[in-house]
Chains A and B, each alone.
Chain A
Amino acid sequence: EDQVTQSPEALRLQEGESSSLNCSYTVSGLRGLFWYRQDPGKGPEFLFTLYSAGEEKEKERLKATLTKKESFLHITAPKPEDSATYLCAVRNSNTGKLIFGQGTTLQVKP
């Protein structure tokens, strides 16, 4: 069964304190791992897509990496505006459907 597990569920950081969010997955044929950011009361905002193990993508203070079993979202020197819920999803290559994790809620304090 396809499954996505994100950890931790919640993370509190001080401004400037770097950390990583984890997304572990099992899927019968991976056709993309997606990271989204979701602010309270808003829809998920697309961040990255990773397709193969070893691939990395960066955007400002965020860097996403991918292995055969998990993905990490590294946050370097976070700012309060990085506070949000970060969602991970994988696409099954057979069905084409996205399977979402439950998200990690990040709070960055000034």
Chain B
Amino acid sequence: DADVTQTPRNRITKTGKRIMLECSQTKGHDRMYWYRQDPGLGLRLIYYSFDVKDINKGEISDGYSVSRQAQAKFSLSLESAIPNQTALYFCATSSLGGGASTDTQYFGPGTRLTVL
């Protein structure tokens, strides 16, 4: 079973609709992230959460909101989707443990979102 799962894997929606993307992890990590990936622009951070009560904006948070329902669950919402939010969305997790592999981020399989 995958350590980081995302649902849905593909979604087509219309402009103005509200949509939620969900992320679950079984890695036991305390930190979770949402990124979007666009051709030619690389991965950009939308929001991140270091624990259940901690939510922080990334570099491109406008038009998005998040909810950390539990340590293992982190959801991303688009309140009113617009076409330029068409992209690949990835959830990632990490843990600030000890050792050389401290805070390495591990990614989910992604959600392909199309806004018409």
A residues lining the B interface (CB < 8 Å): 32, 34, 36, 41-46, 49, 51, 87, 89, 91, 96-98, 100-103
Q: What separation, in Å, do the CA atoms of A42 and B41 have in the docked complex?
A: 17
Q: Return chain A residues, CB-CB under 8 Å to B103.
A: 32, 91, 96
Q: Return chain A residues, CB-CB under 8 Å to B105.
A: 34, 46, 98
- CB pair B108–A34 under 8 Å, yes or no, is no
* Contact sample, A vs B, 23 pairs, CB 8 Å cutoff: A32-B102, A32-B103, A36-B107, A41-B110, A42-B109, A43-B90, A43-B110, A45-B107, A46-B104, A46-B105, A46-B106, A46-B107, A49-B101, A89-B43, A91-B103, A96-B103, A97-B48, A97-B58, A98-B43, A98-B105, A100-B42, A100-B43, A103-B42
Measured as residues with beta carbon below 8 angstroms from the partner, the interface class of chain B is 20 to 34
The 6 closest A-B pairs by CB, nearest first: A43-B107, A100-B43, A100-B42, A102-B42, A44-B107, A43-B109
| Contacting residue for A34 out of B4, B48, B58, B104, CB 8 A | B104
Q: Return chain B residues, CB-CB under 8 Å to A98.
A: 43, 45, 105
Least CB distance from B74 to A in Å reads 15
Q: Which residue of B lies closest to A98 (CB)?
A: B105
B residues lining the A interface (CB < 8 Å): 4, 40-45, 48, 58, 90, 100-110, 112
Least CB distance from B76 to A in Å reads 15
Q: What separation, in Å, do the CA atoms of A44 and B43 have in the docked complex?
A: 10
Q: Which residue of B lies closest to A49 (CB)?
A: B104
